[in-house]
Amino acid sequence: AQTVTQSQPEMSVQEAETVTLSCTYDTSENNYYLFWYKQPPSRQMILVIRQEAYKQQNATENRFSVNFQKAAKSFSLKISDSQLGDTAMYFCAFWPRFGAGTRLTVKP
Amino acid sequence: DGGITQSPKYLFRKEGQNVTLSCEQNLNHDAMYWYRQDPGQGLRLIYYSQIVNDFQKGDIAEGYSVSREKKESFPLTVTSAQKNPTAFYLCASSIATSARGDTQYFGPGTRLTVL
């Protein structure tokens, strides 16, 4: 079964700066999907970004982008121009597995 | 507005009692899911259902039961057999083209505390 590892329990960034959250995974499959979900203090999870493994192009959603390295089994999330509203827990997911999460704090 | 509702937001249970958590969605999604979230851990899948009247166990199904009699509803019962039920429970749904590839939409969660 696949595993998902997030090695950064907590991170902080200054407002307007860029931060990268790490995620590695293990699988023997060739075609699969990876996700980043955000859980703000309200605790309602929402999708940040989704990546299809067979697509070479890294997914992008506005200020959020991924660096997907299939051979290295790495799926990091880059947040540009960080905003206070980005403060949240971020979970990397390879269904049905979720990483333990990274708590990101954006400081004013 | 379309979405997923979970009730109640907070639930207290005495040891030895069964308790049922509600999850309803009006997104017309075929698939629904239940997860458990503990501090310092990611979400762990309890049960999921991709179609009415059918469901599958996830990684931590022991001590839990579900039913899927209607497309919109997927209640979770935490039984007295669940040894450590105090946790935050999240319900989600997806279109169900593929559980592995679908974006999941989450409810606001229920915090269950065993007294």
pLDDT tens for chain B, 115 residues: list them.
Answer: 679 999 999 999 998 899 999 999 999 999 999 999 998 888 999 999 999 999 999 999 999 999 999 999 999 999 988 889 999 999 999 998 788 889 999 999 999 999 8
d(CA A21, CA A67): 10
Is residue A1's pLDDT more than 80? no
pLDDT single digits (tens) A33-78: 999 999 999 899 999 999 999 988 899 999 999 999 999 999 999 9
d(CA B42, CA B12): 23
The answer to whether A50 contacts B103, with C-beta atoms less than 8 Å apart, is yes
Chain B residues touching residue A59 (CB < 8 angstroms): none
Specify burial of residue A33 (Cβ count, 10 A radius: 0-12, 13-18, 19+). Answer: middle
- Alpha carbon dihedral A17, A59, A43, B37, in 10-degree steps, equals -120
- Chain B contact present for A4, CB below 8 A: yes
Which residues lie below 8 Å from residue A53, measured CB to CB, with a gap of 6+?
A29, A30, A31, A32, A33, A34, A68, A70
Q: Which of residues 39-98 of A touch B (CB under 8 A)?
A: 42-47, 50, 52, 91, 93, 95-98
Distance from CA of B105 to the nearest CA of A (A): 7
Q: Chain B: residue nearest A48 by CA?
A: B103
How does pLDDT run across A2-36, given as a tens digit for each residue?
899 999 999 999 999 999 999 999 999 889 999 99
Whole-angstrom Cα distance, residue A37 to residue B88? 17
DSSP helix/strand/coil, A84: helix
Q: How many CB atoms lie within 10 A of CB A48?
A: 22
- Tokens 């390295």 belong to A69
The CB density around residue A67, as the number of other CB atoms within 10 Å, is: 15
Q: How distant is the Cα of B101 from the closest Cα of chain A, in angstroms?
A: 5
Do the beta carbons of residue A2 and residue A53 sit within 8 Å?
no
